[in-house]
């Protein structure tokens, strides 16, 4: 199956007041057409910056290196005119906060219809009718009334459905959903994830789910890539990654997924410590200060390694005691 997006050796660096930090470090990944790839990691790991780079949405103080190939075109460094032919029409991105993703002074119908007017050349009348049908598809009640409302008049779950609908208006071949269930209650989270699964199936599109929560994406992803401190530390088929994690960071993320079976724990599992700031990451393993494995044990199991100094990729060993 042909790949919808191929990212090769992509790095993102931010420079401000002569201080330069690398937020994304030599990342390579791909997503095939019709496939769902979940990119998982804590806040600050570089997940959003990775795809903002591919979409040409980084601020002026950012610089990129590497490639992001879509339909044979490298999106990194492409002219705005070329990017505008892709963004919204062929690749759509759902941002974390639906309140800030929507323009507060414009009606919902106007914002939905504008996508077709700008990218498909539709008339406003036809686009408005299509916007109503999209709200029905997103399972929003009283769609004709909602079209005339403003974002602040909708609940958080409804706003997120509107943002998803905007992304789907042109039937993109790739949808990037950045924390699509953040700040939503559990019931609405389930509904949003089901909407994404249904839309992916109906349109045959590729879906990239960006999340800090492995539990949210576990039921939807075909493959999972785990990101820490700007790098991919592990990737593979979703079932393999969840059953047999190779990297200690992945294992810790899985340990923190709440479970309903068995007795309730006295204390919820959490990761100790904090991710390093970008300027604190060096050639050695950035996860070392938080790793549950003692340095001596790393040496014992991989004597050819110099503890954590070989970097992330070398830390792929079985986690059985």
Q: Tens of pLDDT along 80-97?
A: 888 988 998 899 999 877
Q: Which residue has the tokens 């706003």?
A: 159
Which tokens is 139 given? 């399972």
* Predicted pLDDT of residue 101: 83
38 within domain boundaries = no
- Mean pLDDT for the chain overall: 85
Answer yes or no: are the C-beta atoms of 149 and 45 closer than 8 Å.
no
- Cα angle vertex 254, ends 252, 256, to 5°? 75
158 within domain boundaries = yes
* Predicted pLDDT of residue 302: 53
Report the alpha-carbon distance of residue 159 to residue 203 in Å, rounded.
22
Answer yes or no: are the C-beta atoms of 262 and 288 closer than 8 Å.
no
121 within domain boundaries = yes
pTM for the model stands at 0.87
148 within domain boundaries = yes
117 within domain boundaries = yes
Report the alpha-carbon distance of residue 37 to residue 3 in Å, rounded.
12
* Predicted pLDDT of residue 170: 93
How many structural domains compose the chain?
A: 1
Give the phi and the psi of residue 310 in degrees, each rounded to 5. -85, -5
With a cut of 70, list the residues of the chain below it in pLDDT. Answer: 1-2, 259-268, 282-284, 292-321
145 within domain boundaries = yes
For 204-238, give the DSSP string. Answer: T-EEEEEES-HHHHTTT-SEEEEEETTEEEEEEEH
| Residue (of 301, 271, 305, 300) closest to 285 by Cα position | 305
Q: Which residue has the tokens 């790098």?
A: 231
Q: Residue 130 sits in which domain range?
A: 97-169
306 within domain boundaries = no
165 within domain boundaries = yes
Question: 154 vs 29, 72, 98, 143, 308, CA distance in Å?
Answer: 36, 40, 11, 12, 49
Say which DSSP state 146 is in. H
Answer yes or no: are the C-beta atoms of 10 and 64 closer than 8 Å.
yes
| Residue (of 177, 211, 207) closest to 43 by Cα position | 211
* Predicted pLDDT of residue 311: 43
Q: Are strands 3-16 and 19-32 parallel, antiparallel or unpaired?
A: antiparallel
**Residue range 20-61, pLDDT digits in tens:** 889 999 999 999 999 999 999 998 899 999 999 999 999 999
Strand partners, 67: 8
Which tokens is 8 given? 């090769």
Report the alpha-carbon distance of residue 138 to residue 132 in Å, rounded.
10
Report the alpha-carbon distance of residue 215 to residue 242 in Å, rounded.
10
């Amino acid at each position: 199956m042909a790949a919808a997006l191929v990212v090769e050796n992509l790095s993102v660096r931010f420079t401000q007041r002569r201080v330069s930090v690398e937020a994304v470090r030599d990342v390579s990944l791909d997503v095939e057409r019709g496939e769902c790839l979940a990119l998982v990691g804590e806040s600050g790991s570089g997940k959003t910056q990775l795809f903002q780079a591919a979409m040409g949405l980084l601020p002026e103080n950012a610089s990129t290196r590497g490639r992001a190939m879509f339909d044979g075109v490298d999106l990194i460094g492409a002219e705005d005119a070329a990017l505008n032919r892709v963004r919204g029409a062929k690749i759509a991105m759902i941002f974390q906060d639906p309140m800030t993703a929507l323009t507060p002074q414009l009606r919902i119908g106007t914002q939905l219809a504008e996508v077709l007017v700008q990218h498909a050349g539709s008339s406003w009348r036809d686009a408005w009718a299509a916007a109503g049908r999209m709200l029905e598809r997103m399972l929003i009640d009283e769609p004709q009334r909602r079209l005339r409302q403003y974002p602040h008049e909708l609940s958080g779950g409804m706003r997120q459905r509107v943002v998803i609908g905007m992304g789907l208006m042109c039937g993109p071949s790739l949808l990037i959903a950045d924390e699509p269930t953040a700040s939503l209650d559990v019931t609405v989270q389930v509904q949003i994830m089901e909407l994404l699964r249904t839309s992916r199936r109906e349109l045959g599109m590729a879906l990239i789910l960006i999340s800090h929560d492995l539990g949210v994406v576990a039921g939807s992803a075909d493959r999972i890539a785990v990101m820490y401190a700007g790098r991919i530390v592990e990737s593979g088929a979703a079932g393999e990654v969840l059953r047999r994690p190779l990297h200690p960071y992945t294992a810790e993320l899985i340990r923190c997924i709440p479970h309903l079976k068995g007795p309730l724990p006295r204390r919820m599992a959490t990761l100790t410590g904090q991710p390093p700031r970008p300027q604190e990451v060096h050639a050695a393993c950035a996860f070392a200060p938080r790793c549950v494995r003692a340095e001596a044990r790393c040496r014992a199991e991989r004597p050819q390694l110099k503890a954590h100094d070989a970097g992330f990729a070398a830390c792929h060993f079985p986690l059985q005691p």
